[in-house]
Amino acid sequence: MNHKNKIMMLLSSAALAVFAVLQAGQVVAAGAAGADKPLMLAEVSAANIFNRNLKKQKNPNAPPWEDGIHDTTNEATFNLQPPLEAYKGLPKTSFGNHVDWVKALDQGLIKPRWDRLDSNEEPFVMDLDIVRPVKASVPDVVFPHRQHTEWLFCSNCHPAIFIPQKGANQINMSAILLGKKCGVCHGKVSFPIETKTCKKCHSKPKPADWKPPLSEATLKNPWK
């Protein structure tokens, strides 16, 4: 084998590696493992990588055949509509489906049916805001019935999830994160629970004279 061939071989393997990097979209401490060692890229010291709990979504709105849950050996997978094709022209957000569904509906960009068969039937919209004071220092919650009744019927939430009575519903973020109360939808289908979305619910600033209540332990044993 001459020198030229050797260079060609090197180039071809380099090209393969570049292709691999493009495929992955990320390089995780690749390391040139020998042929005798299996490459275990994702597993090695996964506990010590930077921001290991910050899982950034790569390539959002991937088409079905690239999304990791559809079987690519299934021919029909390739007949499914890619989300981005459907989202063209819809208002964007930076979470969930990356589409502002409420805005899209308000602007008439999508016209989802209220009735299974009748496309002319209009929803029964109730415009009533419920203000829920919050113990913690975050802004108080304003629950808008309007946006919810555009999509849902009263019986979807009342009385199974929320008792329609003032003061009857104890809600906290732990319950919501675990899929109860608002978390039945939020964090699953409607906008997710992320730092970016806190203020969508916690939207009413506290009164100017508001101070965080002192904890009982502090009251009993004041800190000096």
Please list every residue from 58 through 87 that binds another protein, using CB under 8 A: 58-62, 64, 66-71, 74-77, 79-81, 83, 86
Least spacing, CB of residue 210 vs another protein, in Å: 28
C-alpha 182/C-alpha 122 separation (Å) is: 25
* Cα dihedral: 61, 66, 72, 76 (round 10): 30
Least spacing, CB of residue 23 vs another protein, in Å: 5
**Site for another protein (CB under 8 A): how many residues?**
81
Contact with another protein (CB under 8 A) among 100, 181, 187, 200: 187
Contacts 24+ apart (CB under 8 A), 120-124: 123/149, 123/150, 123/151, 124/149, 124/153, 124/154
Least spacing, CB of residue 167 vs another protein, in Å: 24
Least spacing, CB of residue 111 vs another protein, in Å: 9
Tokens standing for residue 107: 């602007």
Q: Which distant-in-sequence residues (6+ apart) come within 8 Å of 214 by Cβ?
A: none
Contact with another protein (CB under 8 A) among 4, 42, 195, 217: 42
Contact with another protein (CB under 8 A) among 100, 102, 181, 183: 183
Contact with another protein (CB under 8 A) among 94, 155, 165, 221: 155
C-alpha 61/C-alpha 96 separation (Å) is: 10
C-alpha 172/C-alpha 175 separation (Å) is: 6
DSSP state of 16: H
Give whichever of 153 and 210 is closer to another protein, judged by the CB atom. Answer: 153
What track of x and - describes contact with another protein for positions 111 through 150 (by CB under 8 A)?
A: -xxxxxx-----x--------------------------x
Spatial contact of 162 and 182, defined as CB atoms under 8 Å apart? no
Spatial contact of 110 and 104, defined as CB atoms under 8 Å apart? yes
Give whichever of 9 and 214 is closer to another protein, judged by the CB atom. Answer: 9
Per CB under 8 A, does 215 bind another protein?
no
Among the listed ranges 138-146, 163-171, 175-183, 208-216, the one in contact with another protein (CB under 8 A) is 175-183
Least spacing, CB of residue 110 vs another protein, in Å: 5
Per CB under 8 A, does 151 bind another protein?
yes
Among the listed ranges 17-25, 134-142, 162-170, 209-217, the one in contact with another protein (CB under 8 A) is 17-25
Residue 183's SS3 state is helix
Spatial contact of 205 and 216, defined as CB atoms under 8 Å apart? no
Which residues face 190 on adjacent strands?
186
